Each structure stands twice: as C-alpha cells, then as structure tokens.
Structure 1
C-alpha cells in the first residue's frame, strides 16, 4: 500500500474518532423529551452533566477503553558510530488501550498501536507496538492526568526487511472529564525502538495524539 493511500486511511480514522462522541451525544439527546424552562421553551444540554464536586471518581474494578490518533515525530537514531542520519518523515499513529483500576489512581492494562511514516526515498516504514501498560492518574476536579509506561514488542517492516523486537513508551496525558462516560484529552509519549542485530540501532520518536476515553 502506498504512502498516499495510508494518509487517506489515516485521516478517515481521524474523522471517525472526532465525530463518534458527538454522534453518541446527539443520539442521547434525541431520546430525551427535554426540560422546559419557565418560559415554556426547551433547555438545550449545552454544558457537561458532570458535577462540579467529584468526591471519588474511580474505585477498584473501574475500566477505561481509549482510542488515540495523531502524529509521530522522528527525533534521532543512534548506532554504534553515534548519531545516524534521519531519513524518516513525520508519520501517523493510532492506538487502542484498555485500563483496569486497582484503586482511585493506580491502573494496569494493555495497548495495541500502529504507525506509518514515509521516507525520503518515498517508501513507507511500519511499526506495530503492543504490550502491557501500568500507570498512575492524578485527579483535580474535571481534569485527569495519567502517567503511564508501556512495555512490549514491536514488529517492524520496511521494504522487504522486517524486525521483531523490544519496545518501550513512557507517556503523560491530560484529560477533561466531560461526563460519567466520556473524557477527552491530549497525549505525549516517547517511543524507544531498539533494533538489536549485527548493527544495532536505537530509534527515538515523540508522539502527540488526541484521545477519547470511554469509562465503564
């Protein structure tokens, strides 16, 4: 598949991620008759129904499913001779995650993702990271700030060459809790992608993504 087709697919996924929460909210609104105000009109739910005071948001057994979509920026590659030339362009990334809370702050789960990026030679590189993640989430009112570490494996493909090896991704995020079901936010993460072979190379990337999380 060419880089142009992957870019088209990437933006289609981005459109779905952005429109799905809005469609879900509209569906809920259509199912309600609406509350009438004193003047006989209908009050539209323009504000979040999440309360101003939140005594205890999470407890043991709470779960989150998240989807993230954004860009991946190649920083530098390190080899045995030092810093190597960077032939990789900015790419796109998508990730699905699942978190289980042990208490109001500590969580454990898994993540499956993928990235693609074109090169200066107009070829495409693919990385598919998957693994386990553990983290701690700070809560301040409507805002939630999870810090996590994902460790696993990452199959890689470039032209006819492939590699299957270790992968690590520390991340920090900031979410706004819209209501009891949904939260939306931003993520930043560092991708460490080593290739231990005859000529070992250590890839370093920075991820910037938008996320939607469903709480259940």
Structure 2
C-alpha cells in the first residue's frame, strides 16, 4: 500500500472515530443539565425545616408588669336604701355629687393593686348635708378588646361619715366596673359604676344600719 493510500485510510478512520465519539460528548454536556433537574428535589428536601416566623400567632399584650394608671373621676351618687335587722328603710337622702382619685400598679397584663381616695356630698330632706370620705386599697382585674378596656375592681377600706354634729368612722366596701376607650398611648376616657356598702355597727343591734349607694362617674385615666 502506498503512502498516499495509508494517509487516506488513516484520515477515514479518524473521521469515523470522531463521529462515534460525538454523541458521547453531547451526553457528557447534557449531564450537568440532569444534575440541575435534581436540584429542586434537593431544595425541597432541605426546606422541610421552615425558617420563616408566623407573626400572626404572637400576641403583644397592651399591659405588662410595671405599667401604672392614675384616674380622676367625677359624677353623681344615688342613695339606694338602708337596711338592718328590722328590714329596709328609706334613706331620706337626695341625689348627690361624688369624685375620687385612684392609682393602679399592674402585676401582669390583667391584675393590678393600688389605692383610692374619694368624697361625696348629698342633701337630706331636712336640707342638711351628708358627707362621705372613703379611702382604701384597690384590687383590680382588667381585660382589653381592641381600644376598649374593661377594668373591674374592689376597694376595701374605711369611710368617714358626717351629718350635722354627728360622725361615724367605719368599714367601707366598694366593688366597681368600668369601660374605657383608649384615646392615645397616654390617656383613656370612660364610664365608671360603683356600689358603696357602708355599715354602721353599734353595740345595740337595733341601731346598726347598712347604707347602700350607687355611684356613676365619668373618668379620665392617665397611663404611665
């Protein structure tokens, strides 16, 4: 075989080998694409532990330990009835005025403790005045709905009672309920209702008397 024939034969063999190997090159080039197709599956496996936080499940309380309020309230005091061992009696006292100041310290988002000082005056049928000056320790519970706040409380203390030249100093119990609307972070305004229970105890049971009054006041509450 001549040199020319050998060169032609070698060239033909190289071309045939290149044609046979070309699909393999194509397959090799496609293999990275196959790896990419498997990538999302790997990502799906790695996403089994979410790192995002659902903030909708986190509730931020309006009140917390250490929050404080100061309330000033003015309104009316309606004598309801007196009673003792003989039954119920007329009060002979007209509608009067009342007002009070109270302070509350929150132990948590609902419970509070504080103090209260108030006063009232009412005219009697004889055109004289009955004066009441109650004060005591205040225990409260409050729940909140949007911008409305509903404080419940009971004040346990004493009251100085005066009528003409007579006076009496004794126990006082005052449960109360209110609704306030939060105007801004510092102030809220609302309506209060209080039940005053004022006993007058004497050594002679026939002289013992229990007074019951209803107070309705408008209050302004400062938050700090």
| TM-score, scaled relative to structure 1 | 0.74
Matched, 1:212 2:220: yes
**Of the candidates 136, 139, 150, which is equivalent to residue 144 of structure 2?**
139
Residue of structure 2 equivalent to 1:42: none
Unaligned runs of 5+ in 2: 1-58
Aligned equivalent of 1:57, options 37, 52, 62: 62
CA distance in 2, matches of 1:85, 1:169: 21
Q: Give, in whole Å, the separation in 2 of the partners of 1:86 and 1:134.
A: 29
More helix per residue = 2
The equivalent residue for 1:163 is 168
CA distance in 1, matches of 2:141, 2:78: 25
Partner deviation per Cα, 1:127-154 (whole Å, 9 max, x = no partner): 0000001011010000000100000000
Root-mean-square deviation (CA, aligned residues, Å) is 1.0
Match of 2:155 in 1: 150
Aligned residues: 163
Q: Corresponding residue for 1:16?
A: none
Tell me the secondary structure at the aligned position of residue 179 of structure 1.
coil
Aligned partner of 1:76 among 76, 81, 88? 81
What are the superposed Cα offsets for residues 43-99 of structure 1, whole Å, 9 maximum, x if unpaired? xxxxxxxxxxx8321111111000010001111100231111220000100100000
Q: Which TM-score applies when normalising by structure 2?
A: 0.71
Aligned partner of 1:128 in structure 2 is 133
Structure 1 stretches of 5 or more lacking a match?
1-53
Partner of 2:191: 186
